[in-house]
Amino acid sequence: MTFNETGLKPEILKAIQEIGFENPTPIQEKTIPHLLSNKNDLVALAQTGTGKTAAFGLPLLHNASAQNNNVQALVLCPTRELCLQISRDLDRFSKYQQGIKVISVYGGADIVKQIRDLKAGGQIVVGTPGRVHDLIRRKALDVSDIRWMVLDEADEMLTLGFKEELDAILANTPPEKQTLLFSATMPSEIAEMADKYLNNPDELAVGKRNSGAENVEHHYYVVHAKDKYAALKRIADNYPDCYAIVFCRTRTETREVAEQLIEDGYNADALHGDLSQAQRDQVMARFRSRHLQMLVATDVAARGLDVSDLSHAINYSLPDDPEVYIHRSGRTGRAGKSGISVSILHMKETGKLKQIEKLSGKKFIRKMIPSGEEICEKQLFHLVNGVVNVETNDAQIEQYLPQILEQFEGLDTKEIVKRFVSVEFNKFLSYYKNARDLNVAFHEEKKESRRTEKLRFSRLFINAGKKQNLNASTLIGLINEYTRKKNIEIGKIDIQRKFSFFEVDSNFEKEIIKSLSRVSLEGHTLVVDRVEGTSFQKDNRSQRSRGVRDFNSDQKRRRPEKSRKY
């Protein structure tokens, strides 16, 4: 199928042909004809980087009326970067459509200018939930008559905590609009959103639900926890041309890893929530222009980044939620190109890797951290290849050639080559001289695996969730702080809106219940208790609601105690 067969307007076809689009991607091939031919609501599932913007954007532009200057379509997306990317793409697609205007609104920018742009009129508004909600409350943005509503990367918007804003925005839109929900994964919250806001939606999917991108290889290395940074350096040195995002668990870890890489001479920088918008823009500009080779980031900071051609997504720390891993790996291998997702594990994380394998349907390949000798060989031929392929400026060098040849007098060609190569290569020979093996021996890994398999886990309930800003990291921090132990094995964690479930080593079950009960989390008094059964049944809503009622009733019967602040 070609774009000419989709039925799009000639002026749109002319613009996308100029861009170089010839054949639609799978999600475009399914979505574009569907949206041009009917007005049913739609849930479309596809991985990041598969061409979702054109999949919904081209039909929007085809159907929008240039004679009507009011807002006809609202596109919501999770981040400023993605908002700007979608707006740029729609501007390019509508290059030859007279009278069609796209307006972008997002936080961290001048709201007065955005209000002026809205007053001037435009058919399509692309925005982040926080800023769109703010503009609606100020009565600067009227969405009461829109014909199309697009929720792009809806799963990420929920992950970033925009549910309340989404609810408020959608409440201001007309019931007869066509709603299009695009998501890379289909967690229960997205299914609930579709049930609540979409009217008998059609569903289109490219690839398997919650599966990783098809053209990404998944590699993992197993090292001792103390050797993770050394392993990261060796992986970077083993791929001299790598262009990667390094994912860390916390802002502190992100800063520390980035600072160490910079100190060790790598072109790296950090992206995390403590940066101002100006600092964030500066870091991203350097990364997009490839002045940075590695961007060290938290998951939240990396949401919606518009970066093409990443060679690697490196998991310095595995995420607690397997679906987050799928998002991370989807940063590479975009638009049909290949990529590698790398995970640096310590021995206790191998069990978590099995969960990710099961969810993504991908086989992970165990790799060995390269030796110093292997890295030196890789770097040597990378250097030689660079010299062979470098472009020379003959006009300028010619004038210095007599003096250069005079300096080399007495040296044969072989000796000259060795000396040139050694200028850059000696630092690697020196650093990796007598480098030790960082790999965990297979017998150690199997011993740890057997120990972990023998563990019995108890499933616990806690009466806090996303509404109380509870996440996996906070929960683990609470357990560490109030039990004063950091060696307790923690299994699966299921964070819901107002309550959560988590698995712990049964040997510490009573201690955790006693330590966390009556702790105050942001003014909310915690209740923790045991749940019968150990499996997570995410889709069994009746069991969830029954559990909440039981624990709420139990909480009322408890005698009040003085809360401890967290």
Residue 128 has pLDDT above 70, yes or no: yes
3-205 and 216-369: identical CATH topology: yes
Residue 13, pLDDT score: 93
User: What is the distance between the alpha carbons of residues 299 and 263, in angstroms, rounded to a whole number?
Assistant: 24
**What's the chain's average pLDDT?**
82
User: What is the distance between the alpha carbons of residues 258 and 397, in angstroms, rounded to a whole number?
Assistant: 38
The residue ranges of every structural domain in the chain are 3-205, 216-369, 373-406+424-436, 455-565
Tell me what percent of the chain is helix, strand and coil, each rounded to the nearest 5: 45, 15, 35
pTM of the model: 0.57
C-alpha distances out from residue 522 to 431, 474, 495, 565, Å: 48, 12, 17, 8
pLDDT tens per residue, range 24-73: 888 888 889 888 988 899 988 876 667 889 999 999 999 999 999 999 99
pLDDT tens per residue, range 391-442: 877 777 888 888 888 888 888 888 888 887 777 777 777 878 888 888 887 5
Report for 179-183, 357-361, 442-446: range of highest mean pLDDT: 179-183
Contact by Cβ (8 Å): 230, 435: no
Residue 558, pLDDT score: 42
CATH dotted code for 455-565: 3.30.70.330
Reported confidence tier of residue 257, pLDDT bands at 50, 70, 90: very high
User: What is the distance between the alpha carbons of residues 110 and 161, in angstroms, rounded to a whole number?
Assistant: 23
Residue 207, pLDDT score: 56
Q: What is the 3-class SS of 198-216, one letter each residue?
A: CCCCEEEECCCCCCCCCCE
Reported confidence tier of residue 355, pLDDT bands at 50, 70, 90: confident
- For the chain, the residue count is 566
Reported confidence tier of residue 444, pLDDT bands at 50, 70, 90: low
Reported confidence tier of residue 492, pLDDT bands at 50, 70, 90: confident
Residue 537 has pLDDT above 50, yes or no: no
Q: What is 216-369's CATH number, 3.40.50.2000, 1.10.1370.40, 3.40.50.300, 3.30.2290.10? A: 3.40.50.300
Nearest to 158 by CA among 277, 248, 77: 77
Query: What is the arithmetic mean of pLDDT over 530-539?
Result: 55
| Interacting residues of 467 by C-beta distance below 8 A, sequence separation 6+ | 497, 498
Residue 561, pLDDT score: 41
Residue 22, pLDDT score: 75
Q: What is 3-205's CATH number, 3.40.50.880, 3.50.50.60, 3.30.2130.10, 3.40.50.300? A: 3.40.50.300
